[in-house]
């Protein structure tokens, strides 16, 4: 009896004790960002700049497609790329999970926009062959777009990605865009995501050990329960930022002025081949677009 | 040997506008020679961290001068030259690693100095080997232990080939194993590469390893000398709420009880020998 009184006094319930004893909350640990999957494939070895530019063009051409033949062409091309990365296709399908609702929603919406023979009608809603075609077309289009975008994040390390972006954006300097600063911020942000996640984990456990309840109650209560986590996190991030700034100054950081790089990016033959093949596919898409009737 | 670092009558105030604020450093003068391994000890708020940030012009003295290899830290044009000569390693390893890959972080300082690509590569490889982290060069820093992260941070400084490294409590956030790794690395750099080391610490066991110990208290230098001399004054250190190594303290207390023991021991081995001699004797 007296024991339980002491525990209650200190705000230690059975559940909080479990946290202290070591049942770690892995809520934040599971989140992965950047999602880079190291493998040794041709796609991995490609120059980040080539990957970014070609991906952008593939995305544009997925939208250019106006009939099933051109869409199938570019979808097959995307599938070949995906297979070439040697990353399990399941991982790509998982990337679809986030946009699943959007795919279904736009698909259903498109179902009712179409002309042709009416198959089913209820007041103003009617489903036609054209509508079914539209729905499938949009669903495939969005799915392929999302999956092919994952190729970039799965096969390029975050540093290569920011480096590539910095170099691609370099011409924007004419318009006084501070390219180096933006790239530096991205690098630091990517570097500190895991650090801050770990810290969030620690603070949550510390607050739970003091009797904070974060799992029960309605959404409003749970959001409120996050305040004692976010405030220490904010304060400590400022402290970290101060430290980091000092460490960077100690290492002669002076903005982008006169800065050289250890890794210099080279376009290789692989990149050239990739570009040639992509352009052939793009050409085919345009040809099929003109040669066959539109779906939409 | 010539003095590499000269600190002359330095006073430092965090808030210069507030006339009543006390001095974090109060009229400090000292000089450090090239190749020396100096430990600075003192309890919290003694000004040891503040002092460490004067060596590479992060802080500039309110009064007095800090001269690094002939350059005054007050001279704005020489700041980057000074920082290339004197590197600073901070307490929290997480907060001083900039890039998401070990070797790119080590390259950061060289990249800022504008060296050609090949030279950076050479220096980075050399620095990573010097701290024994070469195998981890393509890893992400998050996957490393505290001691390993701190060694990466040290490599980042070494890559700039400084003449002196200042370490501000580099082991405070590490476990005993990480502490040994870092101190071992620092000692090797001092002995093999001849780099001047200024180690700020509150672990007396680390201070004992230095050539020279400076004890600070409330912004002033309390004593300054070889470890054997400094730690023989156990009474003085105790008065200023400072610890001594456990072995030193044991012998000190035994001596106070009237046993005949040597003047000062610094580590367990000497302590064991002294006591063994006493028992046999």
Mean predicted lDDT score pLDDT of chain A: 83
Q: What pLDDT band is residue A217 in, cutting at 50, 70 and 90?
A: confident
B172 with B121, same domain: the answer is: yes
B100, A249: Cβ pair inside 8 Å? Answer: no
**CA A165 to CA A186: how far, in whole Å?**
10
- Domain range holding B260? 245-281
Residue A155's nearest CA partner among A89, A87, A88 is: A87
**pLDDT score recorded for residue A34:** 52
Q: Report the domain count for chain B.
A: 2
Touching check for A38 and chain B: CB below 8 Å?
Answer: no
B153 with B281, same domain: the answer is: no
A251, B90: Cβ pair inside 8 Å? Answer: no
**pLDDT score recorded for residue B1:** 58
Contact present, A103 and A142 (Cβ < 8 Å): yes
Name every residue whose Cβ is closer than 8 Å to that of residue A165 and which is 6 or more positions away in sequence.
A52, A183, A186
Touching check for A236 and chain B: CB below 8 Å?
Answer: no
**CA A153 to CA A278: how far, in whole Å?**
19
B84 with B55, same domain: the answer is: yes
B145 with B276, same domain: the answer is: no
| ipTM, two decimals | 0.86
**Is residue B85 scored above 70 in pLDDT?**
yes
**pLDDT score recorded for residue B15:** 82
Contact present, A37 and A155 (Cβ < 8 Å): yes
Residue B109's nearest CA partner among B149, B80, B74 is: B80
Mean predicted lDDT score pLDDT of chain B: 89
B106 with B160, same domain: the answer is: yes
B193 with B276, same domain: the answer is: no
Mean pLDDT for the stretch of residues A5-25: 43
**Is residue A27 scored above 60 in pLDDT?**
no
User: Which residue carries 């690693």 as its tokens?
Assistant: B97
pLDDT tens digits, one per residue of A220-278: 888 888 898 999 999 999 999 999 999 999 998 988 788 888 888 889 999 999 999 99
In order of B21, B64, B170, B187, the CA distances from B208 in angstroms are: 34, 30, 16, 12
B157, A250: Cβ pair inside 8 Å? Answer: yes
The pair of three-digit structure tokens given for residue B72, joined into one six-digit string: 């005054």
**pLDDT score recorded for residue B265:** 81
Q: Which of A187, A195, A247 sits opposite B90 (nearest CB)?
A: A247
**pLDDT score recorded for residue A177:** 86
Q: Give the B-side interface with A, CB within 8 Å.
A: 53, 56, 58, 80, 83-84, 87-88, 90, 92, 94-101, 103-104, 107-117, 120-121, 124, 140-142, 153, 156-157, 160
pLDDT tens digits, one per residue of A4-13: 434 444 444 4
pTM as predicted: 0.78
B19 with B67, same domain: the answer is: yes
A260, B83: Cβ pair inside 8 Å? Answer: no
Touching check for A164 and chain B: CB below 8 Å?
Answer: no
B249 with B234, same domain: the answer is: no
B141 with B123, same domain: the answer is: yes
B231 with B255, same domain: the answer is: no
**pLDDT score recorded for residue A12:** 44
Q: Which residues of B touch A261 (CB under 8 A)?
A: 107, 111, 117, 120
A259, B111: Cβ pair inside 8 Å? Answer: yes
In order of A89, A99, A143, B166, the CA distances from A94 in angstroms are: 9, 10, 11, 49
B139 with B266, same domain: the answer is: no
Own/partner long-range contacts of A105-114 (Cβ < 8 Å, ≥24 apart)? A106/A138, A106/A139, A106/A142, A107/A135, A107/A136, A107/A138, A107/A139, A108/A135, A110/A134, A110/A135, A110/A137, A110/A138, A111/A135
**Is residue A32 scored above 70 in pLDDT?**
no
B10 with B79, same domain: the answer is: yes
**pLDDT score recorded for residue B167:** 95
Highest mean pLDDT, choosing among A111-125, A248-262, B49-63:
B49-63
The alpha carbon of residue A293 is apart from the nearest alpha carbon of chain B, in Å, by 50
Strand partners, A29: none
Interface of A with B in 241-280 (CB under 8 A): 243-244, 246-254, 258-264
The pair of three-digit structure tokens given for residue A231, joined into one six-digit string: 């405030």
Judged on CB neighbours under 10 Å (0-12, 13-18, 19+), A30 is exposed
B83, A251: Cβ pair inside 8 Å? Answer: yes
Contact present, B148 and B140 (Cβ < 8 Å): no
Mean pLDDT for the stretch of residues B213-230: 90
Give the burial string for A255-277 (b: 16+ CB within 10 Å, else e): eeeebbebbeeeeeeebeebbee
Strand partners, B217: B220
**CA A250 to CA B194: how far, in whole Å?**
21
Which one is predicted more confidently, B90 or A39? B90
pLDDT tens digits, one per residue of B111-154: 998 899 999 999 999 999 999 999 998 888 888 999 999 999 99
Which residue from B minimizes the CA distance to A159? B100
Lowest mean pLDDT among A19-28, A85-94, B58-67, B182-191: A19-28
**Is residue B196 scored above 90 in pLDDT?**
yes
**CA A261 to CA A246: how far, in whole Å?**
21
Q: Which of B100, B107, B157 sits opposite A191 (nearest CB)?
A: B100
Lowest mean pLDDT among B128-137, B212-221, B251-260: B251-260
Q: What pLDDT band is residue B162 in, cutting at 50, 70 and 90?
A: very high
pLDDT tens digits, one per residue of B98-109: 988 899 899 999
Q: What pLDDT band is residue B203 in, cutting at 50, 70 and 90?
A: confident
- The domain locations on chain A are 34-192+242-291
Q: Which of A244, A252, A259 sits opposite B96 (nearest CB)?
A: A244
Provide the total of helices (H) and of strands (E) in chain B, helices listed first: 11, 10
Q: What pLDDT band is residue B239 in, cutting at 50, 70 and 90?
A: confident
> Nearest 5 degrees, angle CA A154-CA A159-CA A165?
90
**pLDDT score recorded for residue A296:** 55
């Amino acid at each position: 009896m007296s024991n339980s009184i002491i525990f209650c006094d200190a705000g230690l319930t059975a559940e909080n004790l479990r946290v202290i004893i070591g049942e770690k909350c892995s809520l934040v640990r599971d989140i992965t960002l950047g999602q880079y999957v190291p493998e040794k494939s041709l796609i991995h070895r490609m120059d980040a700049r080539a990957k970014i530019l070609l991906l952008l063009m593939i995305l544009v051409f997925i939208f250019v497609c106006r009939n099933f033949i051109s869409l199938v062409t570019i979808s097959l091309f995307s599938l070949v790329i995906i297979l070439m990365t040697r990353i399990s296709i399941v991982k790509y399908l998982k990337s679809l999970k986030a946009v699943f609702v959007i795919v279904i929603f736009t698909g259903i919406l498109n179902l009712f926009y179409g002309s042709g023979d009416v198959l089913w009608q209820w007041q103003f809603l009617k489903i036609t062959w054209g509508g079914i075609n539209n729905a499938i077309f949009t669903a495939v289009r969005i799915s392929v777009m999302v999956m092919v975008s994952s190729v970039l994040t799965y096969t390029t390390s975050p540093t290569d990605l920011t480096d590539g972006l910095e170099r691609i954006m370099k011409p924007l300097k004419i318009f006084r865009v501070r390219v180096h600063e933006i790239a530096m911020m991205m690098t630091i942000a990517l570097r500190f995501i895991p650090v801050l996640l770990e810290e969030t984990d620690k603070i949550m456990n510390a607050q739970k050990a003091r009797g904070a309840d974060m799992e029960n109650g309605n959404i409003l209560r749970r959001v409120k329960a996050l305040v004692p986590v976010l405030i220490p996190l904010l304060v400590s991030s400022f402290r970290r930022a101060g430290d980091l700034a000092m460490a960077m100054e100690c290492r002669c950081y002076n903005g982008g002025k006169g800065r050289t790089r250890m890794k210099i990016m080279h376009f290789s033959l692989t990149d050239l081949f990739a570009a040639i093949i992509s352009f052939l596919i793009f050409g085919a898409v345009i040809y099929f677009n003109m040669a066959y009737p539109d779906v939409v | 040997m010539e003095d590499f670092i000269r600190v002359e009558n330095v006073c430092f105030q965090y808030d210069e506008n507030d006339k009543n604020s006390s001095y974090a450093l109060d009229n400090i003068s000292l000089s450090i020679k090239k190749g020396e391994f100096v430990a600075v000890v003192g309890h919290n708020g003694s000004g040891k961290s503040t002092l460490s940030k004067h060596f590479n012009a992060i802080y500039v003295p309110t009064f007095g001068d800090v001269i690094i290899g002939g350059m005054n830290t007050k001279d704005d044009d020489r700041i980057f030259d000074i920082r290339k000569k004197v590197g600073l390693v901070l307490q929290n390893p997480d907060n001083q690693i900039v890039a998401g890959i070990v070797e790119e972080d080590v390259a950061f300082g060289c990249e800022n100095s504008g060296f050609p690509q090949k030279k950076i590569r050479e220096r980075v490889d050399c620095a990573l080997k010097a701290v024994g982290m070469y195998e981890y060069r393509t890893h992400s820093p998050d996957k490393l232990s505290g001691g390993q992260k701190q060694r990466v941070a040290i490599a980042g400084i070494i890559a700039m080939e400084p003449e002196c490294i200042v370490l501000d409590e580099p082991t405070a956030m590490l476990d005993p194993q990480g502490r040994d790794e870092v101190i071992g690395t620092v000692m090797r750099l001092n002995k093999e590469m001849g780099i001047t080391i200024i180690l700020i610490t509150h672990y007396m066991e680390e201070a004992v390893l230095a050539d020279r110990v400076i004890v600070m208290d409330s912004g002033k230098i309390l004593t300054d000398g070889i470890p054997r001399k400094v730690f023989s004054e156990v009474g003085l250190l105790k008065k200023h709420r400072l610890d001594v190594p456990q072995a030193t303290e044991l012998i000190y207390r035994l001596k106070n009880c009237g046993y005949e023991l040597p003047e000062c021991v610094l580590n367990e081995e000497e302590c064991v020998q002294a006591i063994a001699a006493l028992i046999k004797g």
